[in-house]
Structure 1
Amino acid sequence: MANLRVKLLANPPATTADPAIGVRRLVGLLCALTFGLMALGSLTRVMGAGLSCPDWPLCYGQVLPHLDPYIFLEWFHRQVAQLVGLLTVGLCALVWWQRRRLPGWLVPLAALALALVLVQGILGALTVTQYLRFDIVTAHLGTAMLYFATLLVALTLLTPAPAIRSQSRFLPWVASAGALIVYAQIILGGLVASQWALHQCLAGSLLCNVMNNHLVGVVPATLATLASIGFAWKPLRPLALALLGLLLAQIGLGVATFWLQLSVPALTVAHLAIGAALLGSLVVLAVLSLRERYRSV
């Protein structure tokens, strides 16, 4: 008996792994893939490769067509999108299978992610079949941002974090409002990009109202982000500093892309990527502060 007790102490029985860890890793992978996919989609658009594959879901009727640089961009964008869709289905299956051992909020959140990725797939097909119609392209971008935000909500809630001290009771609402305003500004930017409003306005005074609305939208988006930074400065200074850096980078990229009239694709892609990172950071800030508020209650 004594020998058995020593063996048990030296080699304790294996415990069942926490399913939340596997779910968190999968959600983190999806966040990274989605962020890269949005940047890849922006590059495809600014390079004029959006209709390089004129049919859908195949490309020139083939799974693997002849790939020149433009066809490759569009084809590769589709492959990554399909991977994201399949992984989202896998995420929902995993969450449903382990639902009794996972937080109750995770099932509806995974279902929302699946619904968004299905809508995104339909919009992706329509962008091709409807020849890059501006409203569909903008909806495609907006749905991608909502999907990205949904994943970030799940990832933040699944990640253990220490208690936040000295948090203002206004921080959750300021950060949430900031995320909504920045999201609206991204949609305005999508309208500008999908209609090539900057080029048309500079060339012939067409669509200048679309361009001007986006320029005016910089003001509330900046003020909302600065307010979030101010309220988060003491309790969550690293995140507040990250937000400040992203805001300054986004303003600088916006000025550069406007001044250069979208002639440098890398700047345009970076502008969208930093905008997505800014939105994501505000979402994370809102979720962290809301979680702390309800934890204290």
Structure 2
Amino acid sequence: MRPDLAKDRQKWLRFVRFSHILWILTLITMVLGPYVRAEDAGLACPDWPLCFGHVVPPYEYRVYLEFIHRVVAGFMGLVFLGWLFYLISVPSIRRTFIRPALLAFVLLAVQILLGGATITELLNPYVVKSHLLNAILYLAVLLYIWKKGRAIVSDAPAPMAVPPRWLQTVVLVAIFFQIFLGGRVSTNLVGEVCMEFPACYVQHVEVDGEVVAKTVYFPSMHDRPYEMHMSHRYMGYTLVILVALLASWSIGTILAARNGLLLALLLVQIALGAFNVKWSLPVPVTVMHSFTAIVLFMVAWLNLLEFRYHEHDSHT
């Protein structure tokens, strides 16, 4: 640990643990969102911030799914305020993290407003997509603070052999864009436009007086529903190439195992996408598909941060 921070070591350790709890709560809140959406419960509470005019609404399955999502999000918000107060109260932590902490505060405030707007705007696709992407950015800031805090309190040396940072950045941006494309598919209800995999659909056409089945792999991208669905698939295939390249480049470096895990998670994600298509969007698979997307982003982001802050602290 840096000598100028040693006197606050216990406070720093508590802050790192506090940050860990906060991002886990955030992740739980983010997973509940796709669960609510998959169960078609997004408007189960037609008003906001109350639910049918009640603080605690009468029990009904879908109503309580949405209500529990709000309760967990509210609890996470209270934990965030406690975390922010602790950060501000310790001068050495405040000097290090005040800017990203304020950014997290702004993102959380925007997230709350977008959460209300998803209800008042009747699940407008643009609002719902913005709600998802803003949550990803908020989680990214919390992970940045947690990861850097861990690096500061540890005495681990800076990793020497690492894959190129530019390639890790490209993979991270591609994953974020893929989450955007997935949100576009979900919010515009085009997940079942293509009911085959890896093809899009089977078309029955008449040839020489006989009806034959024609497998369509590349539907017209001028048709907006097909464009939205297939863009998500094509980006998934592109990600496999990028992550495979990153995993190969990582062999012999400190990130070999985790970039290998990233590739494995991506293949699982594609399999979940295929099951979604084949089984007509079953709720457990849809939720796992969304959860795995978030985990992919987290792993890619943490890998990018893995050596950066060790390296930074070694020169401080």
Instruction: State TM-score, norm by structure 1.
Output: 0.87
Quick one: distance in 2 between partners of 1:96 and 1:52?
38
2:190 aligned to 191, 194, 197, which one?
Answer: 197
Distance of aligned partners of 1:42 and 1:159 in 2 relative to their CA distance in 1, 3 Å threshold: same
Distance of aligned partners of 1:16 and 1:167 in 2 relative to their CA distance in 1, 3 Å threshold: closer
Quick one: distance in 2 between partners of 1:246 and 1:28?
22
Quick one: distance in 2 between partners of 1:24 and 1:92?
12
Judge conservation of contact 2:158–2:314 (CA < 8 Å) in 1. no
How far apart are 1:243 and its partner, in Å?
1.5
1:20 aligned to 8, 12, 19, which one?
Answer: 12
Quick one: distance in 1 between partners of 2:130 and 2:77?
17
How far apart are 1:200 and its partner, in Å?
4.8
1:167 matches 2:134: no
Judge conservation of contact 1:173–1:286 (CA < 8 Å) in 2. no
Q: Counterpart of 1:115?
A: 106
Q: Counterpart of 1:42?
A: 34
Q: Counterpart of 2:306?
A: 288
Percentage of pairs with the same residue:
27
Distance of aligned partners of 1:296 and 1:102 in 2 relative to their CA distance in 1, 3 Å threshold: closer
Judge conservation of contact 1:172–1:289 (CA < 8 Å) in 2. no
How far apart are 1:227 and its partner, in Å?
2.9
How far apart are 1:228 and its partner, in Å?
2.8
The number of aligned residues is: 279
Q: Counterpart of 1:127?
A: 118
Deviations 1:61-91 (A, max 9, x none): 1101101111110000001111111222222
How far apart are 1:199 and its partner, in Å?
2.9
Q: Counterpart of 2:230?
A: 212
Q: Give matches, 1:220-231, under 5 Å.
A: 220-231=238-249
Q: Counterpart of 2:285?
A: 267
1:93 aligned to 82, 85, 92, which one?
Answer: 85
Secondary structure at 1:198 match in 2: coil
Deviations 1:238-291 (A, max 9, x none): 3223223212211211111122231x1100100111110010001000011322
Task: Please report the RMSD computed on the Cα atoms of aligned residues, expressed in angstroms.
Answer: 2.1
Q: Counterpart of 1:251?
A: 270
Distance of aligned partners of 1:103 and 1:229 in 2 relative to their CA distance in 1, 3 Å threshold: farther
How far apart are 1:97 and its partner, in Å?
1.3
Judge conservation of contact 1:55–1:129 (CA < 8 Å) in 2. yes
Gaps of 5+ in 1: 1-14
Quick one: distance in 2 between partners of 1:229 and 1:46?
32
Q: Counterpart of 1:143?
A: 134
Letter in 1 for 2:184: L
Instruction: State TM-score, norm by structure 2.
Output: 0.82
Q: Counterpart of 2:52?
A: 60
Distance of aligned partners of 1:256 and 1:117 in 2 relative to their CA distance in 1, 3 Å threshold: same
Quick one: distance in 1 between partners of 2:193 and 2:166?
38
Gaps of 5+ in 2: 1-6, 196-200, 202-222
Letter in 1 for 2:171: G
Quick one: distance in 2 between partners of 1:231 and 1:20?
35
Secondary structure at 2:48 match in 1: coil
